[in-house]
Structure 1
């Protein structure tokens, strides 16, 4: 199997966020044939504005689009904020959905992980992210969705990758992404 390059977009800007830890877990548990890169720089991407998306696209948006274009698949990790996905992640999807029909997400496999300290486990964020990705042209892969709930009690002071069940689940999501990319290549 050829190397699969996965770009992980983290929907929380906080350095110690559980969301970031889940993306870092994907890096740690990915198989040898998969390279997961956690994108740095979403905080610098301005809110999508069609007036900015012309001849002089902001450098941070260009960098995001370039990183996305160089990727085979995407791992989106979002906290659940007020019952939906984070604005940071939604904004990244908005930039990657343009130009309409041929944006960097178009036709590429996408896995989504939602998380929350509640028992709801980020299910609403996952549902909304799935909808947005589909409209943006990405292909949410079967077996590529995961919700992680009750994160405060589950992880405590430990890093998410130290929680064996969560690490296994994240590994399965990454494998589903690699399999989906392989299926696209062989089709």
Structure 2
């Protein structure tokens, strides 16, 4: 008798903020805590040198090669971005510029991506999300279809450094569930995560 053991789904979680206690990382950590064991969300920050074509190619910086390889090895990507001056942060845009290369064979090309934006304002970073969509479409990433996930007034949804808004988590999990379905591991994983939120309360 053979036992069919499926490998874990690997998600690449990218915080758009470099701030030590960033709201973006808090959201990713909350999602990481409620996803089922067979869905692994690894957290990353866009700490990369400024993009230069002179440094791209075989001699690209080690951290860039590692960043690209981690995206390529993932089954999907979850990006959480703040809004800076009505747009996405420079560090995040720079990381996506690195991830957009090499042309035609970029790690993000064809990769399913879930986009979440956050802001202390009630608008929830919707303008940053719009610009981020434009960048991802240019790279030819596959933005997972669904309602926009915008989390406004986020400062009031953080307690002791943790993101604790259950409704936002459940809403985000619906789109992550669509991503899991896209990679062939659909409804059960998302349902398990949603059930965990409802049973255990906010993380």
Same fold? TM cut 0.5? yes
Asked if residue 114 in structure 1 is aligned to residue 117 in structure 2, the reply is yes
Aligned to 1:18: 23
Structure 1 contact 110–139 (Cα < 8 Å) conserved: yes
> C-alpha separation between the residues in 2 aligned to 1:96 and 1:38?
16
TM-score by length of 2: 0.82
Aligned to 2:44: 39
The CA deviation at 1:145 is: 4.0
2:158 to 155, 166, 172: 155
Aligned to 2:146: 143
Q: Which moved more, 1:170-179 or 1:105-114?
A: 170-179
Aligned to 1:127: 130
Structure 1 contact 85–126 (Cα < 8 Å) conserved: yes
Q: CA RMSD in A?
A: 1.8
1:88 to 78, 81, 91: 91
User: CA 1:158/1:39 → structure 2, altered by over 3 Å: closer, same or farther?
Assistant: closer
Asked if residue 78 in structure 1 is aligned to residue 44 in structure 2, the reply is no
User: CA 1:127/1:85 → structure 2, altered by over 3 Å: closer, same or farther?
Assistant: same
Aligned to 2:35: 30
User: CA 1:5/1:144 → structure 2, altered by over 3 Å: closer, same or farther?
Assistant: farther
| Structure 1 residues without counterparts, runs of 5 or longer | none
| Structure 2 residues without counterparts, runs of 5 or longer | 1-5, 186-203
TM-score by length of 1: 0.89
> C-alpha separation between the residues in 2 aligned to 1:55 and 1:164?
45
2:182 to 175, 180, 183: 180
Secondary structure at the aligned position of 1:51 is classed as: helix
Structure 1 contact 113–126 (Cα < 8 Å) conserved: yes
Structure 2 contact 21–161 (Cα < 8 Å) conserved: no
Which of structures 1 and 2 has the bigger CA Rg? 2
> C-alpha separation between the residues in 1 aligned to 2:7 and 2:144?
19
> C-alpha separation between the residues in 2 aligned to 1:156 and 1:33?
27
Aligned length: 180
Asked if residue 168 in structure 1 is aligned to residue 173 in structure 2, the reply is no
Secondary structure at the aligned position of 1:100 is classed as: coil
